[in-house]
């Protein structure tokens, strides 16, 4: 059996930046709960994306949860959410005992459809917040979406878990809304093994989020809590890994783009293949190279053929409104997300892949068209 090719696995820097910061945490005994690495990681990430402030948290999911709380979402409130996403986008809505309404994608971006969003505003004018996702590192159409949010005076949360390093019209995704969130899960473009970041230009709200994330402990000699708190803060060791990873973010983005370009050049000539969309205003990080199959070869054929050769591939996210837990909630759209799910496949996009690995993947896929 040949070596395993992963979809997207952790990739530590060859220079060993991460170990320098982790060693510093050990040497100073700042293992937990917080420390210099946490403070610096927040500062460095905020500077990198162009946001005024950031809170380092235990996960991207925690960041979405606190963003919803900071936006004032409470029990019974309506929150608009893309249907084509991972469940971590939608779950925090339920944590706040609010009600999700799922919005369809469009073909042009694979992300939240502005037309469907405007229809949702008409149906639910009392919506409390909107979450937009930048799927697989592709930017949503932020001009239209931010205009609608401004028109209806509704807070916007950007789930940029998959799009760190992606630009929309020269500006980092995650910085257009009232709040942005990033994930550093093991499969993301940079990782801290697990962790997330909440960013905002509203420094007061970020300060409040840090308070909630540290069990809402009041300023007092004894342990006093006047609000419900959460154990959501990132550890100093984990933040050290993040600081090192941030130094190689641009390298990882460049590699992801090379992977996508290779697949597109090699495979787009095959009948029935259409790659994820490209727009002149979008500079994606291409976190996962994904394609749609509209011919005789189906996504399962590709995934099974690769699996036999010890290569990992995945379906496109199954829409939230099709999930057993979420199917009772309203969905607004025309089936675009369902079509992407039924016909889409995510190809291995690991930044450690060599040209030989890419050739191996492409050869297996091309072989399906020769049968």
One domain for residues 142 and 105:
yes
The reply to whether 237 and 273 lie within a common domain is: no
Q: What is the pLDDT of residues 257-298, one digit of tens each?
A: 999 999 999 999 999 999 999 999 999 999 999 999 999 999
135: tokens are 């799927």
Among the candidates 188, 214, 246, a domain finishes at: 246
Give yes or no for residue 85 having a pLDDT over 80: yes
The residue ranking higher by pLDDT, 78 or 218, is 78
Residue 336 within any structural domain of the chain: yes
Q: What is the CATH number of the domain that holds 100?
A: 3.40.640.10
pLDDT-based confidence at 253, cuts 50/70/90? very high
Question: In the chain, what percentage of residues exceed pLDDT 90?
Answer: 96
Residue 203 domain-assigned? yes
Query: Quick check: is 68 in a domain?
Result: yes
Give the model's pLDDT for residue 263: 98
What is the radius of gyration, based on Cα positions, of the chain? Answer: 21
Within this chain, do residues 334 and 313 fall inside the same structural domain, yes or no?
Answer: yes
Expressed in percent and rounded to 5, the helix, strand and coil fractions of the chain are 40, 20, 45
Q: Looking at the domain assignment, is residue 11 inside a domain?
A: no
Mean pLDDT of 44-70: 98
Residues 192, 92 within the same domain: yes
Q: What domain range includes position 284?
A: 249-368
In a domain, 6, yes or no: no
Do residue 168 and residue 238 come from a single domain?
A: yes
**Sign of torsion, CA 84 85 88 89?**
negative
Q: Are residues 191 and 291 in the same domain?
A: no
Maximum alpha-carbon separation in the chain:
74
Name the token pair of 332: 């607004």
In this prediction, residue 233 carries a pLDDT of 97
Give residue 96's pLDDT band: very low, low, confident or very high (50, 70, 90).
Answer: very high
Q: According to the model, what pLDDT value does residue 104 have?
A: 98
Average of per-residue pLDDT across 230-258? 97
Q: What is the CATH number of the domain that holds 270?
A: 3.90.1150.10
**pLDDT band of 33, cuts 50, 70, 90:** confident
At residue 211, does pLDDT exceed 80?
yes
| Overall number of domains in the chain | 2
- Strand order of the β-sheet with 273-275 is 273-275, 290-293, 344-346, 314-315
Q: For residue 29, what pLDDT band results from cuts at 50, 70 and 90?
A: very high
Q: How much is the average pLDDT of 248-257?
A: 98
User: Is residue 331 a contact partner of residue 321, using CB atoms and an 8 Å limit?
Assistant: yes
The CA distances from residue 236 to 20, 58, 61, 160, 200, in Å, are 13, 11, 19, 23, 21
Query: What's the pLDDT band for 13 if we cut at 50, 70, 90?
Result: very high
Of 246, 268, 297, which marks where a domain is finished? 246
Residue 9 lies in a domain: no
* Per-residue pLDDT band at 34 (split at 50, 70, 90): confident
CB-based contact 183:196 (threshold 8 Å): yes
Pick from 246, 269, 284: which residue ends a domain? 246
Q: Are 67 and 104 members of one domain? A: yes
User: Is 1 within the bounds of a domain?
Assistant: no
Is residue 10, in this structure, part of any structural domain at all?
no
Look at residue 371 and tell me whether its pLDDT is greater than 90.
no
Q: Are 188 and 262 members of one domain? A: no
Is there a single domain that holds both residue 23 and residue 75? yes
Residues 210 and 281 grouped into a single domain: no
The reply to whether 195 and 265 lie within a common domain is no
Q: Note the pLDDT tens digit of each residue in 113-157.
A: 999 999 999 999 999 999 999 999 999 999 999 999 999 999 999
What's the pLDDT band for 1 if we cut at 50, 70, 90? confident
Residue 241 sits in the same domain as residue 254: no
């Amino acid at each position: 059996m040949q070596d395993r090719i992963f979809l997207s696995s952790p990739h530590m820097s060859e220079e060993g930046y991460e170990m320098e910061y982790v060693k510093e945490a050990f040497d100073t005994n700042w293992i937990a709960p917080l420390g210099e690495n946490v403070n610096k990681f927040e500062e460095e990430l905020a500077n990198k994306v162009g946001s005024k402030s950031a809170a380092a948290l235990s996960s991207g999911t925690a960041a979405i949860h606190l963003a919803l709380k900071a936006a004032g979402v409470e029990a019974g409130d309506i929150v608009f959410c893309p249907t084509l996403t991972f469940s971590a986008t939608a779950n925090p809505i339920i944590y706040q005992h609010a009600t999700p309404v799922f919005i369809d994608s469009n073909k042009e971006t694979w992300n939240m459809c502005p037309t469907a969003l405007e229809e949702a505003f008409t149906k639910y004018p009392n919506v409390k917040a909107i979450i937009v996702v930048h799927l697989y590192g592709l930017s949503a159409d932020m001009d239209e979406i931010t205009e609608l949010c401004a028109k209806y005076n509704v807070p916007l949360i950007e789930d940029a878990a998959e799009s760190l390093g992606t630009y929309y019209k020269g500006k980092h995704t995650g910085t257009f809304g009232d709040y942005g969130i990033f994930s550093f899960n093991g499969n993301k473009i940079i990782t801290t093994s697990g962790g997330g970041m909440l960013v905002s230009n509203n420094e007061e709200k970020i300060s409040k989020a840090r308070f909630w994330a540290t069990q809402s402990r009041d300023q007092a000699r004894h342990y006093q809590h006047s609000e419900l708190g959460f154990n959501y803060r990132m550890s100093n060791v984990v933040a050290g890994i993040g600081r090192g990873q941030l130094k190689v973010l641009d390298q990882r983005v460049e590699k992801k783009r090379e992977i996508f370009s290779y697949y597109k050049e090699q495979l787009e000539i095959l009948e029935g293949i259409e790659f994820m969309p490209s727009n002149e205003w979008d500079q994606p990080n291409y976190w996962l190279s994904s394609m749609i199959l509209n011919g005789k070869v189906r996504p399962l054929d590709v995934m099974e053929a690769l699996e036999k050769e010890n290569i990992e591939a995945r379906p496109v996210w199954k829409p939230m409104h099709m999930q057993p837990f979420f199917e009772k909630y309203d969905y607004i759209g025309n089936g675009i997300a369902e079509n992407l799910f039924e016909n889409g496949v995510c190809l291995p996009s690991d930044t450690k892949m060599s040209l030989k690995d890419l050739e191996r993947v492409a050869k297996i896929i091309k072989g399906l068209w020769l049968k």
